[in-house]
Structure 1
Amino acid sequence: MALTATPARRRIAMGVLLVLAVAGGVIRELAPSPSVLRDLGTLMLVLWLPAVGNFVGYLKGKLPRAAPPPLRFAAGLAFSPHLEVDLERVPLPPDFAATLENDQLGTLLVGRRGFSVRFETPLRAWLQEGEATSMLELLLPESARGHLEAGTAFHLLADAQAVAKGVVRRWV
């Protein structure tokens, strides 16, 4: 049967370790200087280190967590462009545009980083008659600024499908 770590058991373990450390300090103080008993006291005195680590973990759990970043654009929010990009469509499976769930959203993929974006017009329309230059709005522009400089090449994904490749022209 596995032993489950609960807050009560952690407090008991911390108390035991601290009691053993205090006992080690007393033994070390009372034992003659070069002796095995003094070395044993020193060893027991070191047991306060895991207790301190446990206490630091407890305090870390009590700190308030930061709010998670948004995962979607706010509903009804007006389009405000951040990037001007040059896009070139890539070959797509037949009828792919009809299968898009939310056809204004996409992901800019730069290396191993992805940035959520949206088009001003529906992505379906762009896939059929797309302009070479488009404006995009980033969900978190402050996190993308260092990665999407002018001239940066990227891939545009819709759902999990690559639909275009492109280059950043400029920040608006």
Structure 2
Amino acid sequence: MPFHTTPARRQLVVVLLLAFAVVGGAIRYWAPNPSTLRDLGSLMLVLWVPVIGNVIAFLVRRVRLRRTPFDLPFAPELLLEISPLAPPPRLAQPLAGDGCALVVGTEGFTVRLSQPLSAWLAAGRPVQVQAQFLKPGMALARFAPETPFRIVARQQLVGQGRVLQVLPTRDG
């Protein structure tokens, strides 16, 4: 009969290893030093080490440590005209998703676009898209209408563009 792991069995293993660690800690605390009993307590504590990473990952998934604007529905802040580089950049892997960085001078700002990167790169001509910044408080001051910028994705220059319009935000 094959052994199937389930979340309940995983939780049981974690609880058992935690119990071993607590008992091992108690044995180490009260056992004379040096002794075989103290070494056994140390061994019981070490059994817990492989599980710690899984417990931390579980807690991080349960408790979102920080929320970003990208966790919320798309809320555009800029209207942009962007165009891919000519000739198109050679990428090791096709671009996926809508995230990239807009670079003005030596400063880069993370954005997500209203269209996937692959769509406007494939168009081969200038297109209009909307953009939302990860940190709008820092970025919006640098992006007045007609500001030129470069587009970086996967640490590679893939396009250029200019700001057409700063859009009104939900906050006013």
In the superposition, the TM-score normalised over structure 1's length comes to 0.51
Deviation per CA, 1:8-34, whole angstroms, max 9, x where unpaired? xxxxxxxxxxxxxxxxxxxxxxxxxxx
Could you tell me how far apart the structure 1 residues matched to 2:92 and 2:115 are?
14
Q: Are positions 1:170 and 2:159 aligned together?
A: no
Give the counterpart letter for 1:105 in structure 2: G
Could you tell me how far apart the structure 1 residues matched to 2:68 and 2:93 are?
22
Could you tell me how far apart the structure 2 residues matched to 1:121 and 1:97 are?
21
Structure 1 residue 142: Cα displacement: 1.2
Q: In 2 relative to 1, CA 71–117 (structure 1 residues): closer, same or farther, beyond 3 Å?
A: farther
Structure 1 residue 71: Cα displacement: 9.6
Report if the CA contact (8 A) 1:108-1:154 is conserved. yes
Deviation per CA, 1:113-169, whole angstroms, max 9, x where unpaired? 111001122111121126521111111111112211111110011111111111111
- Consecutive unaligned residues of structure 1, counting only runs of 5 or more, are 1-69
Match of 1:152 in 2: 147
Could you tell me how far apart the structure 2 residues matched to 1:169 and 1:135 are?
10
The percentage of aligned residue pairs carrying the same residue is: 30
Deviation per CA, 1:73-125, whole angstroms, max 9, x where unpaired? 544x211111001112102234x38433x521000000011110011221111
Match of 1:107 in 2: 101
Number of residue pairs matched? 100
1:92 aligns with one of 88, 98, 107? 88
Could you tell me how far apart the structure 2 residues matched to 1:132 and 1:126 are?
7
Q: CA RMSD in A?
A: 2.3
Report if the CA contact (8 A) 1:97-1:124 is conserved. no
SS at match of 1:99: coil
Q: Are positions 1:120 and 2:101 aligned together?
A: no
Q: In 2 relative to 1, CA 71–143 (structure 1 residues): closer, same or farther, beyond 3 Å?
A: farther
Q: In 2 relative to 1, CA 78–98 (structure 1 residues): closer, same or farther, beyond 3 Å?
A: same
- Consecutive unaligned residues of structure 2, counting only runs of 5 or more, are 1-65, 168-172
SS at match of 1:146: helix
Could you tell me how far apart the structure 1 residues matched to 2:93 and 2:68 are?
22
Q: Report the structure number with the largest CA radius of gyration.
A: 1
